[in-house]
Every structure is written in C-alpha cells, then in structure tokens.
Chains A and B, each alone.
Chain A
C-alpha cells in the first residue's frame, strides 16, 4: 500500500470512529428512553425506572464497546475502555466541569455512598486481576454487587420521595392505569432500533479502533484507554458539565460516580460471563491503581473544599489526568 492509500484509510477510519460514536450515543439514548416508556406501561415503579435509567443511561456506550470488543476477540480494548473511562470521568470530566463552573457542591450522604461504591469496585477489580484472567466466577460476584448497589440507589430514592411527601405508591398506581393501554408497537420498535444501533455502532467503533491501532502501531489497550474511553464518555461529559453550569450539583457528581461503578461491575463483569478477560500486567500495576488514586484524590479534594469541589480542585484533577496520559503514552508505553 502506498502512503496515500494509508492516509485515505486512516481518514476513513477516523470518520467511521466519529460517526459510530454518534450512532452509539444516540442509540443508547433512544433505547433507554423507550425501555423506560415500555417499563412504565408495564407498571414498573417510576422510581425504579428513573434510577436505573439514569444509572445506565450514560454508560451504555462504554458497556456496549467493552462487550463487543471482548466478543470480537479484542478484550484488551474493552478493559482499556472501561478503566480509561473511569480515570477520564473523574480526572478529566469532573476536572473540566469544576474548572468551568467554579464549584460543584455535593450532598455528603449521597457522595459517601457513591464514592465508597466507586472505591470499593476499584479494589474488587484489582483483587480479581491479581488472580490473572477475570472469569465467570468473578463476573457473578461483580454483577451481584451491582444489583445490590442498584437496590441501594432505589431504596435511597424511595426514602427521598417519602421525605418530600411524594406519594410514590399512589403515583405508581396512576401510572399503571393510565399507561397500561399505551404500550405500543412504536416504542417496542424504537427500543429494538436503539439496541440494534447500539450493537452495530459499537461493532464499527471497535473495528475502527482496532484497525487504527494496527495501522498506527499502537497497542489496543492504549486505544481503549484514551480514544474509546474519552469518546464513549461524551454523554458523561455533556451531562456533568451542563448540570454543573446550571447549578445541579448532585446530578453532576452523581453521573460520574454512578457511571464509574457501572463501568467496572457491568462493563467488565458482563463480558467476563462469556469469556475470560485477560489482564495486562501494566493495567494491574499502573492503570487500575491510577483509577483508585484519582478516586481518592477526588474525595480528598471535596473534603478539603468543605464538601465542594472547587476550581483549584478541578485544575488539580486535570493536571493529574495530563500527567497520567503523558506517563502512560510516552514513559511506560
């Protein structure tokens, strides 16, 4: 192949990467949206649907890519996407959001639960990595833990609804009656279309990612850690930044922490159910510890700021991300 051909192929692959990212993110949105509609028509509680939708809504692109990558024999790309996303979510996205918005306040009760969940899942991942490949036994533990976490979120939301005098049961009943007849084919078709788009989009995303890595001669892990990780975290970025700018602090920090817990327990847990996920030594000795370090740093910065992440904290997080990227790409690669 001539240099010109390679250049055209690279441009084509980058285009495919961008287009597939948009397809993946939009499809995930359409899928979640219509599943929630169908769920509420079937009489599932609004609280359960709301909590679940916001917990998985922004993270489906990471999960989809990790799943497709693992199934198509590029498990490293999948693991890279998950760990890279988690580091980028905290150090990059919260760093940018706190720097732009000036401050992100936190409700200490929710923060404690969500931050401990992120930290705990980080340690669980390292624990399983120590035994080599992550297999189905680890997978079952991780999925079960996520279900427990989801149950805790739903319970907290139910308590909150009670506190704010919202009669959730009554509301649920009304929804059940009024929406029971409204299950329609359009919602089912759109949910399927969303799912299809997610699968096809992730396949193209993974393909263009692996091909680009091969042409440029960079490891798939690096492609996952940076390109796919940052790309699939676009929903987290737009939600976290815009909610911080609107002063919706809880949504802002909650999106990131919820996404990180999901990414590990489900993003690695579910693919591991189907095949053993190989562990790269550098992931165990560097990437995963960095992921835990940025979580601890975030907790420390919030505590130091009096339950707030301020602009200085945001800049420290950003500097940490840049340092990590430089070390990973140029020193350790």
Chain B
C-alpha cells in the first residue's frame, strides 16, 4: 500500500517516528525519503551575521539527524527499505508539502509535536502539513 514514504523530523522523538514508519511497512519493500528543513526565517532587525550563524547551526544539526536516520533505517535487518534523504531551506511545512507533491509519496509520517500550550505559542508544522498535504498522513503521537 505504501511504497514511497516521506518521513519528516526536526530531531525530536526520532526513535518513535522511525519505529512507526518501519511498522507501517510490515516488511514490504518501500522507499523512505527523510526530510529535514532548515528554517531560514528570522524576525526583522536580526543581525545578518547572527542569521548566518543560525542557519549554519541548523544545517549542521539537520545533517546529524539525517545521518542518524540513515543509520537506523539502513541496517542489515531492514533490506526491504531503500533510503534517501533531502535537506532543504525554507518554511518547514511548505517544503514538506512541496516535496510530498514533487516526489508523489504515498504517505507522510511525522510527529504530532508539541503540547497544546506550545502549539498556541509556537505554531505547529504538523497542523499546517495536515491542511495542505496531497496524500495520507500518519501522525505519530509524540506529546
């Protein structure tokens, strides 16, 4: 049923999200695309050097997360999984939706993310993706 899966994570609850993704497959062959989006937006009056520093740090973190995911999803007991990773810059929700459209994935797996208070204060990537995704979404309860 699910031949191509887009897994989105910002690094938190990664183990739960990976477990759920593997479980969805029931051992069937599938291509997993892991995506990490470096959020580049900063408020007005943020110094340029600080913005560059933020993007550098987030990029380094993204690389680490994607490498960890590759390690977890390509071990010898998962020969049925083909793994690919994508790192993009921009608005996380927009980029996840765009990638899902471009890659014609069957399902997006991501975490529900935050508590209700955090969702109100920080906004929620998963909520935005839910409203605009072109495919089925598997939301892993993480908070």
List residues of chain A with CB under 8 Å of any chain B CB.
22, 25-26, 28-29, 32-33, 36, 50, 53-54, 57-58, 99-102, 234-235, 238-239, 241-243, 245-248, 251, 255, 311
Query: B90 to nearest A CB, angstroms?
Result: 14
Q: How far is the CA of A53 from the CA of B53 in the complex (A)?
A: 11
Q: How far is the CA of A36 from the CA of B114 in the complex (A)?
A: 39
Stretch at the interface among B22-30, B43-51, B69-77, B80-88: B43-51
Query: A193 to nearest B CB, angstroms?
Result: 15
B45 adjacent to A242 (CB under 8 Å): no
Contacts of A102 in B (CB 8 A): 114-115, 117-118, 121-122
A251 adjacent to B53 (CB under 8 Å): yes
Contacts of B44 in A (CB 8 A): 238
A-facing residues in B58-99 (Cβ within 8 Å) = 58, 61
A248-B58 contact, Cβ under 8 Å, with A54-B53, A100-B121: yes
B46 adjacent to A235 (CB under 8 Å): yes
- The answer to the question of B39 belonging to the interface, with a C-beta cut-off of 8 Å to chain A, is yes
Contacts of A50 in B (CB 8 A): 49, 53
Contacts of A29 in B (CB 8 A): 45, 47-49
A58-B47 contact, Cβ under 8 Å, with A248-B58, A251-B53: yes
Could you tell me how many residues of chain B have their Cβ less than 8 Å away from some Cβ of chain A?
23
6 closest A-B pairs by CB = A238-B43, A29-B47, A57-B47, A238-B46, A100-B121, A53-B49
A239-B50 contact, Cβ under 8 Å, with A22-B45, A26-B45, A251-B57: yes
List residues of chain B with CB under 8 Å of any chain A CB.
10-11, 39, 42-50, 53-54, 57-58, 61, 114-115, 117-118, 121-122
Contacts of A53 in B (CB 8 A): 49
Query: A242 to nearest B CB, angstroms?
Result: 5
B50 adjacent to A57 (CB under 8 Å): yes
Contacts of B58 in A (CB 8 A): 246, 248
A54-B49 contact, Cβ under 8 Å, with A238-B42, A242-B42: yes
Contacts of B49 in A (CB 8 A): 29, 32-33, 36, 50, 53-54, 57
Q: How far is the CA of A100 from the CA of B118 in the complex (A)?
A: 7
Q: How far is the CA of A58 from the CA of B51 in the complex (A)?
A: 12
Counting chain B CB atoms within 10 Å of each CB, the highest count among A22, A54, A242, A251 belongs to: A242
Q: How far is the CA of A57 from the CA of B44 in the complex (A)?
A: 15
Contacts of B47 in A (CB 8 A): 28-29, 32-33, 57-58, 235, 239
- 8 Å CB contact of B57 from A26, A36, A58, A248: A248
Chain A: which residue is nearest B50 at the CB level? A239
Q: How far is the CA of A90 from the CA of B25 in the complex (A)?
A: 49
Q: How far is the CA of A99 from the CA of B44 in the complex (A)?
A: 21
Contacts of B46 in A (CB 8 A): 235, 238-239, 242
Q: How far is the CA of A22 from the CA of B45 in the complex (A)?
A: 8
Contacts of B10 in A (CB 8 A): 247
Query: A200 to nearest B CB, angstroms?
Result: 18
Q: How far is the CA of A36 from the CA of B10 in the complex (A)?
A: 32
